[in-house]
A and B are shown apart, each in its own frame.
Chain A
Amino acid sequence: MKLDLKKLKLRKVNETLQSIDSKRNNKNYTILNPEGNHAICVGLTDDIDITVKGHVGYYCGGMNQNANITVEGNVGTGVAENMMSGKIHVKGNASQSAGATAHGGFLIIDGDASSRCGISMKGIDIVVKGSVGHMSAFMAQSGNLIVCGNAGEALGDSLYETDIYIKGKVKSLGSDCVEKKMDNKHLKKLEKLLKKAKLEKIKPKDFKRYGSARKLYNFKIDNVSSY
């Protein structure tokens, strides 16, 4: 089923995708002429496939549950913000705060992601084929951030329990973020996630793992220079 944003209002498009009757409705949707519109495909709950033909604005796929969304273009701020489950595949680049606070699901970005990719992430797995900007994984709590390119300044600042895997260079690490040993358990997890992103040719052993030193987990005056 095709939903043309030149002919339909955003509310109608989202209403259609938010009101799926599994017995009656199609499971495949194409959104035409997104033209940078914001809040496309937000609040979806059903296991449906959607292809967005073009660039989108802010919060595409926001708070997604179960839906499989592919964007054939670039995405604005906060793609997949607070996603709970499902999958979002961005074939272009992503603006800032991709996957912000997301509790689950899978986000793949074929291009680069700007600053604060994975900020406060709470369980999502994010694979960026290109590079990520500064302050990525800031205060990230859980889940995995995998970057095949480089990472900008202050990677993983004030990190909690997210695992970060970077294949390229890291400009600088943020407070309490340290390089950690890559053991077999992590290599297997990384292999699985790369496979899920159809990146089987990339070798897990080429990545470095970063995580929390856990020194800032409880406030101590001796750490005041880190805050």
Chain B
Amino acid sequence: MKKNKKTFPRQSWTFDKYTNSEIRRAAATGIYDIRGGGSKRRLPHFDDLLFLGASISRYPLEGYREKCLTNVTLGTRYAKKPLELEIPITVAGMSFGALSGSAKEALGRGASIAGTSTTTGDGGMTPEERGQSKHLVYQLLPSRYGMNPNDLRKADAIEVVIGQGAKPGGGGMLLGQKISDRVAEMRTLPKGVDQRSACRHPDWTGPDDLKIKILELREITKWKVPIFVKIAGSRPYYDTALAIKAGADVVVLDGMQGGTAATQEVFIENVGQPTLGCIRPAVDALQDLDMHRKVQLIISGGIRNGADVAKALALGADAVSIGSAAMIAIGDNDPKWEKDYNKLGTTAGAYDDWHEGSDPAGISTQDPKLMKRLDPIKAGKKLSNYLKVMTLEAQTLARACGKNNLHNLEPEDLCALTVEAAAMARVPLAGTSWIPGINNK
């Protein structure tokens, strides 16, 4: 009998190789997967938007010659000393504990050279970070690990953290292997114990309480420094409105591509909204309350280059914040450590087991040997270079749109490549005047 010719082996789209490997991993271990970073799935993002540039009806500015301002002031609503930054790109909160002391120092150094701010994280403020950060934002997190009024008064701004884009409604977990003597002491917990970072604040619930909490923080710091409220990309319109009502000077909005030190994979990939979908609702809330540009909006979650910066600003943000990109800039997932990544069963670019403390790049670790791999001065310089490149890129695009200030970019400068992006960003689909949900032309 003649044998039938076989078709090419066909893999399932639903049960792809990664999915199958996760099923096998779960079956073997009985534990859900925990990892760092943000969402890795394909999401509508800034890549789905394009700038239109100048034309007969728009007058461009000369690159490298005509000025295009980049500075931003954060906290103009109530603070006596708002944060004056040279560029609209800040460095997001990342904890000492999740990151090594030298990594935190590098972030402070890089941000300071570039004229911007960096942010503490769960676990308190380290002297290295304060010493090297010209502008340091001090986070008030639910766990209050390392929360100290002396440090609070040393801060240039305070950020009340309500949510993170990677895990709206979720807390965190710093596994015991990363709890060195110093981390344990700062967090008032025994060495080697898994440290839960709580998902909600211990002494307030809801927007009315938050207003009082902000009052307390202002009274402690004598109304000098701005109070930021950081929310996840969950319900951006209402959360932004409530943060404004509670008295925030600045709203930080983190979409689901925003990173975390450690959370369940299922949480990272299935909760929250893409950054692109969060901006316009937040700007709506600011505008409805007549607070746009009075309360500043910082957008984070997947910001990678000057184009992302310019697009976020064009949609109404006052600044952006970077976390994962800053880590990459100082050496995270660098291919030069490929052999070490391979030993951990991964590859450069995909390493995300930050919670395990074995980071070959010496960044998300407390291992003294690995930490030595990161030179905070050189790493700081890399970060400042990267921040400067992003700023130059954003300026290039703004000048092409005829804008002499990054903050003059507007939705009218953009079009979208996909229907989804057009609907989320509320800009026309390329080649049409169609904005899904706004007009049907």
Contact = CB atoms under 8 A, between A and B. Distances in A.
Given A141-B188, A221-B31, A42 B202 contact: no
A65 to B, nearest CB: 6
Nearest to A14: B219
B202 A38 contact: no
B288 interface: no
Contacts of A62: 216, 220
Given A63-B152, A123-B188, A160-B190, A43 B220 contact: yes
B215 A39 contact: yes
A43 B221 contact: yes
Contacts of A65: 149-150
B147 interface: yes
Contacts, number: 107
Contact of A221 (B30, B152, B175, B176): B30
Interface in B154-200: 173, 175-176, 187-190, 192-194, 196, 198
A216 to B, nearest CB: 8
B216 A100 contact: no
Interface string A94-124: 0011001101000000000000100110110
B149 A43 contact: yes
Interface in A4-54: 10-11, 14-15, 18, 38-39, 42-43, 45
B203 A119 contact: yes
A43 B29 CA distance: 48
Given A58-B212, A101-B147, A122-B144, A160 B219 contact: no
B238 interface: no
Given A120-B198, A217-B194, A38 B176 contact: no
Contacts of B147: 82, 101, 103
Contacts of A15: 222
B120 interface: no
A78 B204 contact: yes
A81 interface: yes
B202 A100 contact: yes
Contacts of B189: 141-142, 160-161
Interface in B27-84: 29-31
A142 B216 contact: no
Given A43-B149, A84-B149, A219-B194, A97 B219 contact: no
B148 interface: yes
A158 interface: yes
B213 interface: yes
A139 interface: yes
B143 interface: yes
B209 interface: yes
A39 B196 CA distance: 28
Nearest to A40: B219
A120 B144 contact: yes
Given A39-B215, A81-B203, A218 B152 contact: no
B152 to A, nearest CB: 7
Contacts of A119: 202-203
A77 interface: yes
Contacts of A57: 212
A158 B198 CA distance: 11
A4 B280 CA distance: 47
A160 B193 contact: yes
A142 B145 CA distance: 12
A120 to B, nearest CB: 5
B69 to A, nearest CB: 35
A59 interface: yes
Interface string A127-163: 0000000000011011000000000000000101100
Which residue, of A11, A57, A65, A122, has the highest number of chain B Cβ atoms within 10 A? A122
Contacts of B337: none
Contact of A97 (B148, B176, B198, B203): B203
A10 B220 CA distance: 12
A63 B216 CA distance: 10
Contacts of A218: 175-176, 192-194
A10 B218 CA distance: 11
B223 interface: yes
Contacts of B31: 219, 221
Interface string A210-227: 000000011101000000
B188 A139 contact: no
Nearest to B190: A161
Contact of A11 (B144, B209, B223): B223
Which residue, of A11, A63, A158, A160, has the highest number of chain B Cβ atoms within 10 A? A63
A-B CB proximity, top 6 nearest: A43-B220, A78-B203, A101-B144, A63-B149, A97-B203, A122-B188
Given A63-B149, A120-B144, 10 more contacts: A38-B216, A59-B203, A65-B150, A78-B203, A139-B196, A139-B198, A160-B193, A217-B194, A219-B31, A219-B175
Interface of A: 10-11, 14-15, 18, 38-39, 42-43, 45, 57-59, 62-63, 65, 77-78, 81-82, 84, 96-97, 100-101, 103, 116, 119-120, 122-123, 138-139, 141-142, 158, 160-161, 217-219, 221
6 contacts: A11-B219, A57-B212, A81-B216, A120-B198, A122-B188, A219-B175
Interface of B: 29-31, 143-144, 147-150, 152-153, 173, 175-176, 187-190, 192-194, 196, 198, 202-204, 209, 212-213, 215-216, 219-223
